[in-house]
Structure 1
Amino acid sequence: MIYVDNRQNKITVNSELEEILSKTISFALQEEEVKVPYEVSLVFVDNEDIRKINNETRHIDKETDVLSFPMLDYPKAKVFKEVYKEYNFDKTFLDGEDLILGDIVLSLEKALEQSKEFNHSFNREVAYLVVHSILHLLGYDHMEEDEKIIMRGREEEILKKLYLTRD
């Protein structure tokens, strides 16, 4: 289950955008072998709101493009598909039968700016940001160079399969 909450009014959120991102999230989770019912929240904000959230949660008083808030805690360098069978997720991680993976907070305003800066479509940019965030929800990180190489590779593999390559 994917919950969408539009908390901004600078970029139009239409059914096409919601469909693209829902498809992207579902596909990325499928590619990462998430075979259980899940919940992901996707929250759209503007630059000012994401700056505030970034400052409150990471103590970085700066706008960013996307923030990920995973509900699950993974051992270092492990991702969901590698540890799922080892985990005994208790009720705090479940909403009924669904595993709560976490929240994605996306600045559509920043995504539009970046799509222009990188000279590709808005849809490609938001899809990339959502894939990036999904991978964070599943335990990927990019703080260390070896982790970054793995994560960037997975991002591009998933986007390529979705035909959302850099245009």
Structure 2
Amino acid sequence: MLYTDNRQNKIDVTEEFIKELEEVCINTLEKEEVRQKCQISLLFVNNEEIREINNETRNIDKATDVLSFPMLDYPKGKVFKDVYKDKKFDIMYMDQDELVLGDMVLSLERAMEQSIEYNHSFKREVCYLVVHSILHLLGYDHMEDEEKKVMRSREEEILNGLDIKR
């Protein structure tokens, strides 16, 4: 379900930390009505590596907190639960009977900086970024004001359901 790869050495990544993030992923997918077995990969990096990936993939030469690379296409304004819940998937999106939702790249270094900046826990920041990224994998966006309101509302609802507060 959640495949992780730690390519940074600034923040300790423990088995307990990974298990907590797996629970966040499972809960987010349940809240979004994803009933299929699925795969998500999560790559932990530092600020320099995420800056390089951001530059290569988005032509933005600066560090960011999280990048999302969805494998499914969604019609404008639609998300997974609107489009795919009863649909059979093309074989290209399946791996051993699991739906491949996509990849997340998370700078733990930036997450730590933001947790200090926003005055909440590192755990809360990382959980927020994982929920945020999964919602992107499921078709949510925040480029327009209305989309942003919907996405922020879903993020807070999911995090509050997990009792992860600011």
TM superposition score category, shorter chain reference: over 0.9
Aligned counterparts, 1:78-157, within 5 A? 78-85=78-85, 87-157=87-157
**Partner SS state of residue 106, structure 2:** strand
**Residue 8 in structure 1 maps to residue 40 in structure 2:** no
Shift of 1:159: 0.2
Hey, what's the Cα distance between the residues in 1 that align with 2:83 and 2:142? 19
Shift of 1:22: 0.7
**Percent identity over the alignment?**
64
- What amino acid is the match of 1:115? S
Alignment CA distance shift 1:86-1:161 (3 Å): closer
**Partner SS state of residue 153, structure 1:** helix
**Structure 2: 5+ residue runs without aligned partners?**
none
Partner of 2:26: 26
8 A contact 2:33–2:85 mirrored in 1: no
Hey, what's the Cα distance between the residues in 2 that align with 1:29 and 1:129? 14
Shift of 1:88: 3.8
Aligned counterparts, 1:36-115, within 5 A? 36-85=36-85, 87-115=87-115
Q: What number of residue pairs does the alignment pair up?
A: 166
Hey, what's the Cα distance between the residues in 1 that align with 2:130 and 2:161? 15
Shift of 1:43: 0.5
Alignment CA distance shift 1:86-1:74 (3 Å): farther
Hey, what's the Cα distance between the residues in 2 that align with 1:80 and 1:65? 24
RMSD: 0.9
Shift of 1:23: 0.6
Hey, what's the Cα distance between the residues in 1 that align with 2:46 and 2:111? 10
Alignment CA distance shift 1:85-1:34 (3 Å): closer
TM (norm. structure 2) is 0.98
Shift of 1:87: 4.1
TM (norm. structure 1) is 0.97
